[in-house]
Amino acid sequence: MTRKAYMIGTGIGNLAAGIYLIRDGGFNGDQITMMGLETHGANDGAPVKDYEDEYSNQALTNNKGFLAKGGRMLNEETYENLWDLLRSVPSLDHPGQTVTDDILNFDHAHPTHDVGRLMDDDGPRNKPNKDNYRHMQFTNKERYLLSKLMLTPEKDEETLNNISIAEWFVSTPHFFTTNFWYMWQTTFAFKRSSSAMELRRYMNRMILEFTRINTLEGVTRTPYNQYESIIIPMRKYLEDRGVTFINNRKVTDLEFKDTPLQDDIIVTGMKYEEVDNDNKEGHIDIAENDLVFDTNGSITDSSSIGDYDTPVKENMEYAPSAMLWKKAAEKFYSLGNPDKFFNDRTQSEWMSFTVTTNNHYLVNEIARITQQEPGNALNTWIHSTPLMSLVVHHQPHFKAQKPNESVFWGYFMYPRRNGDYVQKPVIEMTGKEMLEEFLGQLAAVDPSKDNIANHKQEIMDSIVNVIPTHMPYASALFNQRAVGDRPDVVPEHSKNLAFISQFCEQPFDMVFTEQYSFRAAQRAVYTLLNIPLSEMTPMHHYEKDPKVMARATKTMFR
């Protein structure tokens, strides 16, 4: 009987697993079935109208413009699995090249150099005679605590069980007013309530970025949004090799073999619903030598969107992908604790807004005020109450963008807080009100005599749409956790089930990265097919490089 592989979820992790199965595991495409509720996972980006079916629970008055719920920061030095695997995926835009070529060639031609990383009351915090944000602003005690955290051995990670960053630095509240914290938290989406364990991993894995966090020179950008630059080529690779994609299918439960003492984990079947066919139920028999790869949690699950005149209608649904994990964890003791990540939105929620304009006036004004051209990473308004950040991409960001259109996005880390210019919680704002809040923040740091506030009507007339997006689990992967709360990629005693997501456990690497999903995919495939793990893609350990660490130490005192 031909061995089969079933992928639950069609995000980047399972797409990577499918390619590993074909490239390294000897599978044919027709042995692989991909099942999901949509086509993009967390790496999304499309015209607004393409999201209508996904958010059919809320009627929108405006389906024009574009939407990207967020952006994923890539890194050339530390995303080893991603670059290696995407070298096997042909470019759709440049025949004879690969997706890795596409991205790195674009990035090298448009290198990131952020000169307006932090914005305070009178513009970029990098002006002469100002508290230049290249300075980290640590006290000696903060240097000690951050070093102690970073140097905690991996074998002792459990000493950080359920400890938040706020608890780790409780004796030095000044830490949360430093340039370092403003930059680090908004670059990677940490909160004070986030896990100190995850901050430790980031400080080790991204130690190269510590020395250049003020310019974000290590950020690698894709030519277009990540759906068009990465997801579509990966899907095309798999489709060309005969992989079956079933969209709008929701797997609702896994069935397991009844084994002595319930030790062995063997999937024997799965139940599903066809969500575009009156929720018609179905069943798939799984043979013992078949493989099941589950996306056990997604940071964009239960999202909700609005439009220019419509606020979001908060989706209170427990993350669907995590619900399947939760059901499995109730049957086996070794499958972690999904409630740690999906039962406390206060730790994980934030809101983004995507702006589409019919001319380039606003983007040009943003460039003037922030002192940087589109494509140069991230600006954070450090005194904004809901903590607002902005990303203006290299244009165009979508292949379907018209030459006269601009698209950019921003996000608020604390959507329950009131705006400073619109006196209501961010989560209750329409797209228009979010734009007004943003324009208020922008005008507040505009040094020009002809302040941008004098051109508000001109800007409003240029707006095609503003899409607010609430993501209750956007930072759930950073929630406080203990060792064991995340299941191993291939749990102990599992014979045919693997987890691939930001919520599985593997050593050293850091979540909230495509690298983590790619590496989990490789680990899952290699483990279940008995390919030696020693043959996995080598990873860099810059935290063991004396020169890198010397520069990091110097940065601490900068």
**pLDDT tens across 137-173, in order?**
999 999 999 999 999 999 999 999 999 999 999 999 9
Q: Please list, in sequence order, all residues whose beta carbon lies within 8 angstroms of the beta carbon of residue 477, skipping any fewer than 6 positions away.
A: 198, 297, 299, 341, 502, 503, 511, 512
Residue corresponding to tokens 């996995």:
536
**pLDDT tens across 300-340, in order?**
999 999 999 999 999 999 999 999 999 999 999 889 999 99
DSSP code of residue 430: -
Bridge partners (DSSP) of residue 124 are 119
Q: Is the dihedral angle over the CA atoms 398, 391, 517, 262 positive or is it negative? A: negative
Q: Is residue 378 within a helix (H) or strand (E), and if so which, with residue range?
A: strand 378-381
Instruction: Output the pLDDT for position 123.
Output: 65
For residues 522 and 535, give the distance between their C-alpha atoms in angstroms, rounded to a whole number: 10
Q: Is the dihedral angle over the CA atoms 191, 509, 145, 76 positive or is it negative? A: negative
Mean pLDDT of the chain: 94
Q: At what angle do helices 12-23 and 514-528 cross, to 10 degrees?
A: 40
User: Which amino acid is it at 17?
Assistant: A
Mean pLDDT of 4-8: 98
**pLDDT tens across 171-180, in order?**
999 999 999 9
Would you state the torsion angle of the CA atoms of residues 205, 11, 352, 371, taken in this order, to the nearest 10 degrees? 50
Mean pLDDT of 505-534: 97
What's the pLDDT band for 58 if we cut at 50, 70, 90? low
Cβ-contact 19, 238 below 8 angstroms: yes
Instruction: Output the pLDDT for position 51.
Output: 82
SS3 call for 467: strand
Instruction: Output the pLDDT for position 40.
Output: 80
Instruction: Output the pLDDT for position 377.
Output: 79
Residue 42 pLDDT > 90: no
Residue 127 pLDDT > 70: no
**pLDDT tens across 247-302, in order?**
989 999 999 999 876 689 999 999 999 988 788 999 999 999 999 999 999 999 99
Residue 57 pLDDT > 80: no
What's the pLDDT band for 71 if we cut at 50, 70, 90? confident
Among 275, 270, 267, CA closest to 250? 275
Instruction: Output the pLDDT for position 126.
Output: 62
Instruction: Output the pLDDT for position 60.
Output: 74
For residues 112 and 106, give the distance between their C-alpha atoms in angstroms, rounded to a whole number: 11
Among the ranges given (53-62, 82-91, 95-104), the one the predictor scored with the smallest mean pLDDT? 53-62
- Single pTM value for the model: 0.96
Largest Cα separation within the chain, whole Å, is 78
Residue 72 pLDDT > 90: no
What's the pLDDT band for 59 if we cut at 50, 70, 90? low
Q: Please list, in sequence order, all residues whose beta carbon lies within 8 angstroms of the beta carbon of residue 541, skipping any fewer than 6 positions away.
A: 508
Q: Please list, in sequence order, all residues whose beta carbon lies within 8 angstroms of the beta carbon of residue 333, skipping any fewer than 6 positions away.
A: none
Phi, psi of 553 (to 5 degrees): -65, -40
SS3 call for 6: strand
Instruction: Output the pLDDT for position 122.
Output: 65
Residue 124 pLDDT > 80: no
Instruction: Output the pLDDT for position 140.
Output: 97
Cβ-contact 431, 306 below 8 angstroms: yes
Instruction: Output the pLDDT for position 261.
Output: 67
Mean pLDDT of 404-414: 97
Residues classed as catalytic: 202
What's the pLDDT band for 346 if we cut at 50, 70, 90? very high
**pLDDT tens across 445-488, in order?**
998 889 999 999 999 999 999 999 999 999 999 999 999 999 99
Cβ-contact 322, 296 below 8 angstroms: yes
What's the token pair of residue 198?
């995850």
What's the token pair of residue 428?
């209750």
